[in-house]
């Protein structure tokens, strides 16, 4: 069983700057959930004679040369991703339905965006892009597994807390740190979705925002019924 994750000091500072609220909370990732990532990254790789070696959730060992399949080193993958975000993060396309679903849910929920960005240096660019797409929720930047940040964000809030992310690593971390969270694994790319096995603690595995919004709406309705019967 993985150990609970601690919140990073720089993330905790961002959380403490948020206004107090006691509304139910949705914590939502950005890449491959609200904004397409994999399709953009694949185009970026192909332009450099690189490719995903398999459609599965790992980058180191899974990005290599198209001609011979030789994987890049972890340092090369890290450098490539930094360059990718610098060059592409201002023009990522929105996943269909994401903005409409989140803005509708925000009538009853607080929505906070929690994204892993290398060094956080693309945050203003990302905020500008999201705002232009009509998505104006607070954006927090994290690095590494997200369990500690999710637990800190939920502190003092009523349940339910919903966590939406594509990464198996982040979901494992949240399950270890805040097992009461409702966990939705959202993967926009159909190929990566198809190769992802649904873990036992994942409440919904989806690539469709209409399905996801309906699932979240039913959570709150169920919670309200339980409070009334209690």
| CATH number, residue 225 | 3.40.50.1000
Residues 118 and 47 in one domain: no
Per-residue confidence at 117, pLDDT binned at 50, 70, 90? Answer: confident
Neighbours of 57 (CB within 10 A): 15
Torsion of CA 208, 43, 130, 9, to 10 degrees: 100
- The helix/strand/coil state of 185 is strand
Q: Is residue 68 part of a domain?
A: yes
The total domain count for the chain is 2
For residues 116 and 204, state if they share a domain: yes
Examine the domain organization and report whether 173 and 223 are in the same domain. Answer: yes
The answer to whether residues 138 and 218 belong to one domain is yes
The verdict on 79 and 163 lying in the same domain is no
Helix, coil or strand: residue 199:
coil
- Give a yes or no: residue 177 inside a domain: yes
Per the CB < 8 A criterion, the answer to whether 97 and 188 are in contact is no
Residues 83 and 102 in one domain: no
**Per-residue model confidence (pLDDT) at position 223:** 58
Query: What is the reported pLDDT for 227?
Result: 46
Distance separating alpha carbons of residues 187 and 197, to the nearest angstrom: 12
* pLDDT for res 58: 80
Do 124 and 19 share a structural domain?
Answer: yes
**Which of residues 71, 88, 105 is at a domain's end?**
88
Same domain as 214, residue 153: yes
Residue 43, pLDDT above cutoff 50: yes
| pLDDT band, residue 220 (cuts 50/70/90) | confident
- Domain assignment of residue 80, given as a range: 38-88
In a domain, 1, yes or no: no
d(CA 167, CA 90): 22
How many distinct helices (H) and strands (E) make up the chain?
Answer: 9, 8
1, 100, 168, 217, 223 from 229: Cα distances, Å: 35, 32, 36, 19, 10
Residue 32 and residue 59 in one domain? no
Q: Is residue 4, in this structure, part of any structural domain at all?
A: no
Give the 3-state secondary structure of residue 139. strand
């Amino acid at each position: 069983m993985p150990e609970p994750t601690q919140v990073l000091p720089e993330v905790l500072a961002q959380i403490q700057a948020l206004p107090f609220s006691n509304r139910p909370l949705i914590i939502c990732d950005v890449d491959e959930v609200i904004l397409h990532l994999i399709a953009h990254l694949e185009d970026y790789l192909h332009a450099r004679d690189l490719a995903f070696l398999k459609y599965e959730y790992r980058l180191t060992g899974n990005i290599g040369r198209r001609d011979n399949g030789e994987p890049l080193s972890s340092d090369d993958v890290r450098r490539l991703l930094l360059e990718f975000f610098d060059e592409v993060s201002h023009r990522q396309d929105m996943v269909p339905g994401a903005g409409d679903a989140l803005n509708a849910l925000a009538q009853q929920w607080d929505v906070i965006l929690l994204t892993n960005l290398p060094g956080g240096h693309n945050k203003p660019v990302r905020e500008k892009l999201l705002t232009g797409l009509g998505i104006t929720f607070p954006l927090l930047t994290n690095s590494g597994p997200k369990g500690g940040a999710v637990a800190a964000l939920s502190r003092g809030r009523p349940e339910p807390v919903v966590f939406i992310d594509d990464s198996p690593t982040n979901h494992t971390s949240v399950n270890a740190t805040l097992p009461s969270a409702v966990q939705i694994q959202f993967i926009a790319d159909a190929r990566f979705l198809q190769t992802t096995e649904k873990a036992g603690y994942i409440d919904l595995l989806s690539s469709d925002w209409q399905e996801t919004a309906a699932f979240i709406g039913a959570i709150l309705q169920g919670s309200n019924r339980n409070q009334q019967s209690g």
